[in-house]
């Protein structure tokens, strides 16, 4: 298994134990995860008090090159807070050090903001996928690239940057697995049956450069809130989905591991789909 989404470092709650590399590797061994993408933590001011930046990710990668896949992280406001900032030289340095992608992007700007577009274009030119935490809006108290209901801003950048691979993550993205999206609940974990496929399904089918990160409660909730729909979704979009956990806390539960294993064991999804989701798609997207 290849996990597309993990973090280490100190969180945002004073009393929370630090989740370090030893804890991450232990959980990976327990869950049967061979390799994991390690994402920098913080960097954007909306996200965290304590940063675990790209340089620290690369230090961990050099110690555990057989287990860790490093990503780098930039904020589209870095440099001079301009839509003309040159990120390419920084991205090239990180890529040469081993980074396979950029993210998790958390700056609380609309995803079609010209500053985000500038970063996306340069990531595409260097064949670096971008993993995005999506948020419901630009406002106090949240982090992530904002999209309105219907994901129109996401579709705009998918069209404009066909050479850039986008990996969608978090509640504002996964709530759109259903066509029935409640404005008040799309920043959380909608419950109940999926009566018809939503915008996530439409965009995954329409745009070759969009993938879905199944990590965290948001990804797990999307495929488990309506099990039969979830099995259909996994099979239908087997080429566009990436297994992930979002491991970042001590004693964190990750029910998606057993959910996927049971799905294939019970014949709810094919062995081919299972292998693609848990490993093969990540190898393709990250050029492993």
- Ordered by start, the domain boundaries in the chain are 2-285
Q: Give the integer Cα–Cα distance in Å for 227 and 152.
A: 27
Cα dihedral 144, 234, 177, 224 in deg (nearest 10): -90
Angle at 135 between CA 130 and CA 138, to 5 degrees: 115
113 and 157 in contact (C-beta within 8 Å)?
Answer: no
Closest CA to 31 of 266, 246, 284: 246
Packing angle of the helix pair 216-224, 256-265 (nearest 10 deg) = 30
Closest CA to 262 of 222, 284, 234, 239: 234
Q: Give the integer Cα–Cα distance in Å for 275 and 61.
A: 25
Angle at 18 between CA 38 and CA 216, to 5 degrees: 50
Angle at 220 between CA 214 and CA 225, to 5 degrees: 135
Q: How much is the pTM?
A: 0.96
Residue with tokens 């991450």: 24
- Answer left, alpha or beta for residue 103, where phi above 0 means left and psi between -120 and 50 means alpha: left
Here the contacts of 86-94 (C-beta below 8 Å, separation 24 or greater) are 86/122, 87/118, 87/119, 87/122, 87/123, 88/122, 88/125, 88/126, 91/122, 91/123, 91/126, 91/128, 92/126, 94/54, 94/58
The pLDDT value recorded for residue 45 is 79
Low-confidence stretches of the chain (pLDDT beneath 70)? 49-50
Dihedral pair phi/psi, residue 113, rounded to 5°: -60, 140
Residue with tokens 């081919």: 272
pLDDT digits (tens, 9 = 90+) for 98-127: 999 999 999 999 999 999 999 999 999 999
The pLDDT value recorded for residue 99 is 98
The pLDDT value recorded for residue 184 is 87
Question: Looking at domain 2-285, which of 3.30.930.10, 3.40.47.10, 3.30.70.360, 3.20.20.140 is its CATH number?
Answer: 3.20.20.140
Residue with tokens 């789909």: 273
* Cβ neighbours of residue 211 closer than 8 Å, sequence gap 6 or more: 129, 165, 166, 167, 168, 204, 240, 241, 242, 281, 285
């Amino acid at each position: 298994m290849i996990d597309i989404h993990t973090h280490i470092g100190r969180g945002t709650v004073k009393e929370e134990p630090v989740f370090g590399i030893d804890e991450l590797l232990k959980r990976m061994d327990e869950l049967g995860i061979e390799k994991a993408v390690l994402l920098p933590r913080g960097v954007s001011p909306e996200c965290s008090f304590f940063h675990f930046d790209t340089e620290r990710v690369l230090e961990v990668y050099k110690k555990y090159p057989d287990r860790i896949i490093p990503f780098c992280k930039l904020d589209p406001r870095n440099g001079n807070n301009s839509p003309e900032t040159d990120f390419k030289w920084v991205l090239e340095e990180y890529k040469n050090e081993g980074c396979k992608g950029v993210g998790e992007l958390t700056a609380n700007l609309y995803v079609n903001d010209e500053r985000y577009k500038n970063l996306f274009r340069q990531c595409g030119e260097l064949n670096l996928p971008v993993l995005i935490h999506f948020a419901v809006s630009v406002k106090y108290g949240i982090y992530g690239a904002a999209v309105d209901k219907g994901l129109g801003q996401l579709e705009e950048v998918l069209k404009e940057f066909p050479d850039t691979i986008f990996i969608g993550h978090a509640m504002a993205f996964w709530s759109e697995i259903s066509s029935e999206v409640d404005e008040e609940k799309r920043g959380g974990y909608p419950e109940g049956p999926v009566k018809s496929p939503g915008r996530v399904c439409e965009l995954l089918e329409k745009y070759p450069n969009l993938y879905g990160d199944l990590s965290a409660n948001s990804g797990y909730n999307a495929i488990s809130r309506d099990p039969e729909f979830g099995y259909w979704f996994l099979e239908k979009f087997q080429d566009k989905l990436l297994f992930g956990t979002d491991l970042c806390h001590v004693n964190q539960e990750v029910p998606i591991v057993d959910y996927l294993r049971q799905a294939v064991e019970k014949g709810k999804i094919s062995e081919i789909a299972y292998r693609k989701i848990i490993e093969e798609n990540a190898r393709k997207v990250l050029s492993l």
